[in-house]
Chains A and B, each alone.
Chain A
């Protein structure tokens, strides 16, 4: 399809699907019952969504490596610290 040739359009659709999954995890109560699996799934989705925004919306896909590392590093660091905090909370 012609409309999907624009990476921004593809990214928007994926972002909507990922948001719907996160919403469903909360709405269905799966976020509570599935424990750490749901946490990992949501953080994974946030990582995918954040990476798409950085690459296709902020247009850093073809930016100098340093800036890709800085932005993706921020995302990975924050999500990693959240994993650590949730792990501590489960103990």
Chain B
């Protein structure tokens, strides 16, 4: 994740060509290759979790259906809205940075982080209600999965927000623009991965029965 200062010339012709009309037709992986391997590794861990949940449910259908009814569907849906909106804000931030609208990009990144904060607040309210009702990891198989899966995902939301905070500071300093947006795209891709995982998690754990 290197950053190029705004005052430095960018002799890299490939980067200049990437902004030429019709450049969209040339296949291009946004951000650094390394972040995509990292995203892939994260997705595989979540895949194992989701598949384990689904097959555990197949053996305890009644228990899963009964326990699922105690979950706060509104909180789950609200958190989905917060994550997809947070993701959208970060897309707008990257688009703004690419056209050198640094101040606008900074604002969209802050808005994306605000959505992350909203997600955490909803999650904490949801957890305190569950823990207050005496529910724990050892209550039953469903709650073991519900708590561990959502907690593991929440850790990723927090990491995503740390990444957004770093990107926000660097964007404000003018590190990203039409000359260089690799690190910004990499961080954004991670943030979208957190959204993608929740898009599977929400129907699976909160709604499907």
On whether the two chains bind one another, the answer is yes
Question: Which A residues have a C-beta under 8 Å from some C-beta of B?
Answer: 6, 8-9, 11-12, 15-16, 19-20, 22-23, 25-27, 31-32, 38-39, 42-43, 45-46, 49-50, 53-54, 56-60, 62-65, 67, 70-71, 74-75, 77-79, 81-82, 84-86, 88-89
Report Cα–Cα, A22/B92, bound state, in Å: 26
A85-B43 in contact (CB<8A): no
Interchain residue pairs with CB less than 8 A apart (30): A12-B88, A15-B84, A19-B84, A22-B207, A23-B73, A26-B73, A26-B207, A27-B74, A42-B207, A46-B200, A46-B204, A49-B84, A50-B200, A53-B195, A56-B91, A57-B192, A57-B195, A58-B30, A60-B30, A62-B27, A63-B28, A64-B28, A75-B200, A78-B47, A79-B200, A82-B51, A85-B55, A86-B54, A86-B58, A89-B58
Among A19, A27, A31, A63, max chain B CB count under 10 A is at A19
A43-B95 in contact (CB<8A): no
Partner of B199, one of A25, A27, A46, A74: A46
A12-B61 in contact (CB<8A): no
Interface majority SS on A: helix, strand, loop or mixed?
helix
**Tally of B interface residues using CB under 8 Å:** 50
A78-B29 in contact (CB<8A): no
Interface majority SS on B: helix, strand, loop or mixed?
helix
A78-B50 in contact (CB<8A): yes
A54-B196 in contact (CB<8A): yes
6 pairs of A and B residues whose beta carbons are closest in the complex: A85-B54, A89-B58, A23-B77, A26-B207, A12-B88, A8-B91
